[in-house]
Amino acid sequence: MLKKDQYNSFIRDVAQQLGFDYCGFSEAGFMEEDARRLESWLNAKMQGTMDYMDNHFDKRVNPSLLVPGAQSVITLLMNYYPDEVQDSVTPKISKYAYGTDYHLVIKEKLNQLLQQIRLNIGAVEGRGFVDSAPVLERSWAVRSGLGWVGKNGNLLTKKSGSFFFIATLITDLNITPDAPFSTDHCGTCTKCIDACPTQAILPDKVIDGSKCISYFTIELKEAVIPETYRGHFQDWMFGCDVCQDVCPWNRFAAPHREPAFTPIPEILHFTKADWQGLEEDAFREIFKHSPLKRTKYKNIQRNLQFIQTEKKG
């Protein structure tokens, strides 16, 4: 079995072998400042109709409520930046959704990482989370020394930008923490704020989720998108990458190496006519392992209709 001074390097090596690009460690503890920010954000109703954001507040800011006896939080980043682009006539889809659903891909890798920790270190309790549980991933990433939160609300790294999935492994293993990332490298830049089509990016790194194109095209369950936003979607049918695409730090983004994130051909090449002619059964088959299935067929068609007619509005 490994000694404590070997834990960090061992876990980083295994993480790299599994395809993670960054790995950092922080001490598990109550997140007092984050609790205040989250409470303020919720009180301002910036979650829109995302009622699940109101749930499990205590768990979001206290990892010991998710893993009893939690001592350490391991944060991992996995690049998803594609080396292929959509055709110019294709309705825009956020890059993170080009391939297989990242929840499926990364959760399996987290399970493998935890298994290797148990085999080489001992009986360790832990739970892995990938954007589907009450965990403040970006805050843990900053605490683990991996980067800073930009004005667009995304985690930014100096070497590679922001096109990363964030995964979190909370454990009762005592691991030496990394120094938190303490410098904000956005400076006076406001490119993301200026470029946001719906003015969803507010000062002080606050994102009004109820105004974000990603919210309207993915999270909103209503049959109709508010008319006040017609003409602002810029052909985004699923998600939105504008604030990342304009970020100067993403000039350092390099293509990912994960085969599961290889783009589904239809995402790259389907025209609006192709999407309109797509039957629901075909949609379910083509996108059965894709993040697009979360929005469901009827809301994909709703989004398509909205961007199809917005230039006429």
Active site residues per annotation: 131
Three-state SS at 283: helix
The answer to whether 240 and 201 are in contact (CB under 8 A) is no
DSSP-derived 3-state class of residue 72: strand
Cα 249 to Cα 38, 194, 239: the distances in Å are 26, 16, 20
Quote the CA–CA distance of 303 and 305 in Å, as a whole number.
Answer: 5
DSSP string, 194-238: HH-TT--EETTTEE-GGG-HHIIIII--SSS--GGGTT-STTEEE
Beta bridge partners of 129: 168
CA angle at 264 for the pair 261 and 269, rounded to the nearest 5°: 135
Question: What is d(CA 128, CA 67) in angstroms, rounded to the nearest whole number?
Answer: 10
